[in-house]
Chains A and B, each alone.
Chain A
Amino acid sequence: MTTASQTFNLALVGTPNSGKTSLFNALTGSRQKVANYPGVTVERKTGTFTTPSGRVVTVVDLPGTYSLRGRSPDEEITRDVVLGRKSGEALPDLVLCVADSTNLRLTLRLALELKRTGCPLMVVLNMFDIATRRGVTVDLERLSQELGVPVVTSVAVRKGGTDDLLRRTDELAGGAGAQRTPNLWQPPSAAELRAGQREADRIIAASIRLPEKPDNLTRRVDAVVLHPVAGLIVLAAILFVMFQAVFTWAQPVMELIQAGFDALGEGIHAVLPASVPLLQSFLQNGVIAGVGSVIVFLPQILILFLFILLLEDFGYMARAAFLMDRIMGGAGLHGRAFIPLLSSFACAIPGIMATRVIDDRRDRLTTILIAPLMTCSARIPVYTLIISAFIPARQVWGVVSLQGLVMFGLYAAGIGSALAVSFVIKFFMLRDYEPAPFMLELPDYKLPRLKSVAIGLFTRAWMFLQRAGTTIFSMMVLIWFLASFPQPPAGAEGPAINYSIAAYVGHALEWLLWPLGFNWQIAVALVPGMAAREVAVAALGTVYSIEGGKEAAEQIGAVLATKWSLATALSLLAWYIFAPQCASTLAVIRRETGSWRWMAVTFTYMFALAYLASLITYTIAVALGAG
């Protein structure tokens, strides 16, 4: 305990899959903050809660780890916070070692290691209800006595399931047995790990009785899900349903949001006096049309994240890595790369951050380089706009929508090119190295908990809206400004935008982009698209609405269908499969690889691929008569 005795610092430590995060959610509810540790992109999740006796507790959810050896940047954070070596982080007053009650072996070894740090420690047997239902009986007193630390049970997902934990925390915070002892921890040798696991197994044998007939559900499900053939079919089906859902389920909500923003724009236009046309134009075309055209994609992004969160909570993600390991290995990727790459479908930034689970540097670098090729959610607005404007909404083979199929094709093109790039990297640069190991715990299946999923979704939605409110908003203001000034001279012919700075910039870039079939309006939209891809859609909306007036703003898709040829549309789709257009992704690559060089490499190769793909697409499309 330090000077600030009014707040009590808790740290949650546990192995991956121990239910640590659901306990964290149960303790803090929505009172949590997600940020980064300074200098690294490890997520720092903190929250506060108040105990029954009125004590204010701050709790930090540390990255999951099997030991304190610190094999990756995430695990180093866990070690450093527990040992009080991390500057700016409070030394925890109490470490909670969170264990999955149905599976204590690895966590108890970790607890024994944590004990050596001298930090006050309590073991939390989480998901105790599941263990009880499976017939696992735990002699809590014996377990606590053998470990030499307090042990409590909890059911993070049930109301009142953490009461015991809160009560004991209060007691310990009150000074009953939470004394810090000198730190004796050193990185354990193999012999010490072995001895630790033996000791943990001995303690388990002495205090825990497993049921005669173990629960076989996971095993029976895995007989199908991990089957060499059936398993891959299941995986493909899950991915297919996921992408169809993103494209079709979200539609009604998106139309609703679009209608709402249109009405808002109309309303503001009507309320403002007609004597200030610039202000009218700024609010309706710049702000509302711009931000609205991005926020409309929130439903799709939420559906995508919903699938990813559900698959993670079910315990399926590790299975997907198992199924894909050798298949991706053919392209030079590690099985563990599957999870970061799948996350990259939502956004490359968390995807690149998630590559930290790959501890081999070369494997990790390859994954980082190709992660931006996965079709992130920011491309959905661009794809959706163009597909709905140019691809007829009809069914093929009776059941599948053609638009959905084109979307699927774009995703497949992203994946295919990622594998090809990875193969090239492996072939030219990394072929003489021994492969890094693939070892991964396959957790028992668990039903996802509504609350955890809801909190996860809420966090993602909030991050997206914040981006829409800051980056995208300021970009839209800039675009509106560039597209509106200078104003056309009195008596000038044609749309006002033709006299603006935007038109000047667009025309200046046209020489570079005309072989791809891009007109100057697209060139204008691509520039702010550097900040975030989805801005390009908003920018097109602004450019065409300033050019075409109110009707154009309402029907941007319909306007594009009249202004662009099919060849141009296809060329822009091809461009966006590869386009290196996201400043935040490039920044994260620089930070994660620690070098400008890899950022430059990523930018250059993606730009080259985008240009080439667009050129080929446009040329072929024109040759086939779509120009």
Chain B
Amino acid sequence: MTSPTTPTSEILLGHAERGMSGTIGAIDARRVASALSAVELESRLLELGFVEGARVEVLHQGMVGRDPIAVRVDTITVAIRRREAMAISVIR
């Protein structure tokens, strides 16, 4: 992933601006307070194709609080709230 010429930075998907793209570095649902357990939330993210190494790009965002966001994950588009997107860290 890292090459000596382009320095990488990591950002939580929940903080990403519209238009940001990168690859998923890690998924950790423990940072998100949710009605679901961390394991369950992580499982659901995985089922929608959020796996480490997948390419993501923030395509659209909602009106109220720029939330939720529509994220391109490799070849799929997924709508997700910023709150749950905090479980996903992105390397750009």
- The B50-79 residues at the A interface (CB cut-off 8 A) are 51-54, 59-68, 70, 74-79
- The A97-133 residues at the B interface (CB cut-off 8 A) are 102-103, 105-106, 109
Q: For chain B, what secondary structure do more than half of its interface residues adopt (helix, strand, loop), or is it mixed?
A: mixed
- B63 contacts A440, C-beta separation under 8 Å: no
A363: nearest chain-B partner, CB-CB: B35
- Does A67 have its Cβ within 8 Å of any Cβ on chain B? yes
B87: nearest chain-A partner, CB-CB: A437
B40: nearest chain-A partner, CB-CB: A71
A226-234, A237-245, A450-458 - interface stretch: A226-234
Bound complex: CA of A214 vs CA of B76, how far in Å? 12
A150-158, A317-325, A527-535, A572-580 - interface stretch: A317-325
Bound complex: CA of A441 vs CA of B74, how far in Å? 13
- B65 contacts A67, C-beta separation under 8 Å: no
Q: Could you say which interface size class chain B belongs to?
A: 35 or more
- Does B39 have its Cβ within 8 Å of any Cβ on chain A? yes
Bound complex: CA of A69 vs CA of B35, how far in Å? 18
Which among A188, A194, A330 has the highest number of chain B CB atoms within 10 Å?
Answer: A194
- Does A428 have its Cβ within 8 Å of any Cβ on chain B? no
- B62 contacts A435, C-beta separation under 8 Å: no
Q: Could you say which interface size class chain A belongs to?
A: 35 or more
Q: A442 → chain B, closest Cβ, in Å?
A: 4
Picked from B43, B62, B65, B74, the residue with its CB within 8 Å of the CB of A322 is B62
- B83 contacts A106, C-beta separation under 8 Å: no
- A106 contacts B48, C-beta separation under 8 Å: yes
With contacts A232-B63, A325-B68, A439-B80 known, is A434 near B45, CB below 8 A? Answer: no
A-B pair count, CB < 8 Å, reads 132
- The A291-329 residues at the B interface (CB cut-off 8 A) are 318, 321-323, 325-327, 329
Q: Chain A residues near B61: list those with CB within 8 A.
A: 228
- A228 contacts B62, C-beta separation under 8 Å: yes
- B46 contacts A105, C-beta separation under 8 Å: no
With contacts A326-B68, A436-B35 known, is A442 near B47, CB below 8 A? Answer: no
- The A189-222 residues at the B interface (CB cut-off 8 A) are 189-190, 193-194, 197-198, 201, 210, 214, 218-219, 222
- A442 contacts B79, C-beta separation under 8 Å: yes
- Does B33 have its Cβ within 8 Å of any Cβ on chain A? yes
Which among B41, B42, B65, B77 has the highest number of chain A CB atoms within 10 Å?
Answer: B77
Picked from B33, B36, B51, B68, the residue with its CB within 8 Å of the CB of A194 is B51
Q: B57 → chain A, closest Cβ, in Å?
A: 10
A227: nearest chain-B partner, CB-CB: B60
Q: Chain B residues near A66: list those with CB within 8 A.
A: 47-48
- Does A63 have its Cβ within 8 Å of any Cβ on chain B? no
With contacts A321-B79, A438-B79 known, is A228 near B63, CB below 8 A? Answer: yes
With contacts A66-B47, A194-B51, A439-B45 known, is A434 near B79, CB below 8 A? Answer: no
- A437 contacts B60, C-beta separation under 8 Å: no
Seen from chain B, the residues whose Cβ lies within 8 Å of a Cβ on chain A are 33-36, 39, 41-49, 51-54, 59-68, 70, 74-81, 83-84
